[in-house]
Amino acid sequence: MRRAILALVVICLSLSPATQAQTPKPVETIPIEQIHAGMRGVAYTVFQGTKPESMDVEVLGVLTNANGPKGDVILVRLGGAKAEYTGVVAGMSGSPVYLNGKLAGALAFRIGEFSKEPIAGVTPIAEMLEISALDRHPTSAPIEATSAARSPNKTASPGIANSPSQDSANHGFTNYLKPIETPLVFNGFSEDTVQRFASEFSAAGIVPVMGAGSVSDAKQPEPMEPGSAVSAILVQGDMNIAATCTVTYMDAQHLLACGHPLMQFGMVDLPMTKATVLATLPSPLNAFKIVNATETVGTFVQDRHNGILGEFGKKPEMIPVTLTIHGESADKQFHYEILNNARLSPVAMMATVFNALHGVNEYGEETTYRMNGSISVDGYPAVTMQDMFAAVDGGQPGAMLAAISLGERFSRIFDNPYSVPAIHGVQLDYNIVRERRWARLESARTDITEARPGDDIAIEAMLRPYRGEGVVQHIPIHIPTSTSKGPLRILVSDGDTLDHFRRGSSFLGRKLDLAATIAFLNKEHVNNRVYVSLLEADPEAMIADKVMPTLPLSIMNVMDGMRGTQDMVVSSESSVNEAATAPLDYVVAGAQVLTINIK
């Protein structure tokens, strides 16, 4: 009997921590109306390792409407040996502040530049708790707190660290209240890659930082708690991009962090990981934490004006990428995942592809890349890709052109107003040729000036390779029996020129649905062939990705009401036939137009 009782006691003791984790006590908060100058409290952040350390806090006052309409900021002075030595540190945003033993908010703002005192701004906790009400994920449970959240604020611009080119002084004003930087650390990226894409990331609200941390899947046994470091991952694997701030609040299902936005994208889907602070670097200009992001514990699901919301146990939906580079000495394969976001995924895709191509020994300004790849989209045919990329005199290197081409495809897949694409994977193969394989279409001609419907004619195209002798290509093409009498234009061109002609200026700004977009992408012409297109002087209509050539005037009059819609584009010429060379070992560039008469 005594053994049974003892066993029951042991079972109860072993279950009690889990039970407490599932049903945590609500956190008591203090409303901003009760906060006044002179109050003292404590804040927590990690200076080194994983354990939060305390900092003294003295309230200096409340700044009304300092963070947008009805967005108040609590102004505080930090105290304690470490806080006074390091000052307000990048990565400290989100550090919880307690007044009278109650949660008041999160450190989120720094004051001025080269400050001699660690004075910071605090986002009130009530404004952070509003983020939970915005979360519509089906498994989400409401955040528990003993004070009610106020009505939602109108959001202001996302707080991002300013680069010199973006400094507010250059725009005629000075901002002394700035969000504490949450720099995105690029690990596994070359300096050249970060420099080339810095402006692209900056436009999305990201300031790239190199050499200040890393990402791994190492286990971190220490439990998370308010004041712990937490990281949001944008790219993970053989290349990593991660942002780190501090946990403000936790319950069994959620955590709140940062006290300001990462990029203010609203709903997001980013891996949420534990983090270890290797060191805190003091600096009057830019103090920051050097951080290693470790094991994944959930997903950040909201990125809002007053902080970010994470959900424990939720698996993030990233886009897996396999990139293989076939070099002359050996093959290299890269495996990584990028975030699924319409604004940032194309930029992340471009940066990672260029970085991989740039990071092999065969890279050079003269290098040519042959690409084969596919983008898998759930419920739709795969987007297939086949192209060559080589530098043009005075232009971008081939690796950059390859990256831009892929980013452009990603942008078009995401940029539709009808459905959210579920991209399940990207497969890329690049063969490297260590010379510039590029040729200009120098001339084109045909031996005839007249032909009849049903005739076969031949086009002679002269290609001038880079630093090479001219190469002649003969392209036979059939004139359809339905071709009208009169002038017939013959376009001899590269694939890009032909695609631009087909789309026309009216195509710009059109928003196709996802199925039509993917069909369009799969119909695009490769850039290592010479194409010949017969153009008749009859109108052609394009509805979504479907082409209706040589429309009679009577039908055009019936369809005239659709001209101004996004569904239909009308061009003045119709392509009645098309032919091409076999794949060439050059990137072809250029266009010529010939004219013959159809009798």
For 296-339, write each residue's pLDDT tens digit. Answer: 999 999 999 999 999 999 999 999 999 999 988 789 999 999 99
CA terminus-to-terminus distance, the chain: 111
Give me the mean pLDDT over the 47-68 stretch.
94
pLDDT at 531 over 90: yes
Q: Which pLDDT tens digit goes with each residue over 336-350?
A: 999 998 888 999 999
Task: Provide the pLDDT for residue 286.
Answer: 76
Q: CB-side exposure of 479: number of CA atoms within 13 Å?
A: 24
Alpha-carbon distance of 156 to 185, in angstroms, equals 25
| Helix spans in 174-321 (H) | 191-203
3-state SS assignment for residue 156:
coil
- Is 394 buried (19+), middle (13-18) or exposed (0-12) by CB count in 10 A? exposed
Give me the mean pLDDT over the 51-61 stretch.
96
pLDDT at 7 over 50: no
Q: Which pLDDT tens digit goes with each residue over 202-239?
A: 777 677 888 778 888 889 999 999 999 999 999 999 99
The answer to whether residues 498 and 592 touch, using CB atoms and an 8 Å cutoff, is no
Q: Which pLDDT tens digit goes with each residue over 249-296?
A: 999 999 999 999 988 888 999 999 999 999 998 887 778 899 999 999
| Element housing 201 (H / E) | helix 191-203
Task: Provide the pLDDT for residue 473.
Answer: 96
The more confidently predicted of residues 550 and 477 is 477
Name the residue with tokens 């290509």.
Answer: 473
DSSP for residue 454: T
**b/e per residue 227-254 (b: at least 16 CB within 10 A):** bbbbbbbbbbbbbbbbbbbbbbbbbebb
The answer to whether residues 245 and 46 touch, using CB atoms and an 8 Å cutoff, is no
Q: SS3 helix, strand, coil % of the chain, rounded to 5? A: 20, 40, 40
| Element housing 4 (H / E) | helix 2-22
Task: Provide the pLDDT for residue 544.
Answer: 52
User: pTM for this structure?
Assistant: 0.81
Confidence tier at 25 by pLDDT (50, 70, 90): low
> Of the given ranges (9-13, 355-359, 445-449), which has the lowest mean pLDDT?
9-13
| Element housing 14 (H / E) | helix 2-22
Confidence tier at 488 by pLDDT (50, 70, 90): very high
Q: Which pLDDT tens digit goes with each residue over 147-186?
A: 433 333 333 333 333 443 344 444 455 567 888 888 788 9
Task: Provide the pLDDT for residue 153.
Answer: 36
Give the length of the chain: 599
Alpha-carbon distance of 133 to 551, in angstroms, equals 55
Find, among 321, 111, 301, the residue nearest to 236 by Cα: 321
Name the residue with tokens 């001339």.
Answer: 443
DSSP 557-575: HHGGGGTTSTTEEEES-EE
Find, among 561, 567, 519, 509, the residue nearest to 542 by Cα: 567
Task: Provide the pLDDT for residue 576.
Answer: 87
Find, among 533, 532, 567, 568, the residue nearest to 551 by Cα: 568
Alpha-carbon distance of 455 to 445, in angstroms, equals 17
Find, among 112, 117, 113, 30, the residue nearest to 74 by Cα: 30
Q: Which pLDDT tens digit goes with each residue over 361-409?
A: 889 888 999 999 999 999 999 999 999 999 987 778 999 999 999 999 9
Q: What is the mean pLDDT of the chain?
A: 84
Alpha-carbon distance of 468 to 470, in angstroms, equals 7
Task: Provide the pLDDT for residue 66.
Answer: 84
Task: Provide the pLDDT for residue 3.
Answer: 43
pLDDT at 140 over 70: no
Find, among 80, 279, 66, the residue nearest to 153 by Cα: 66
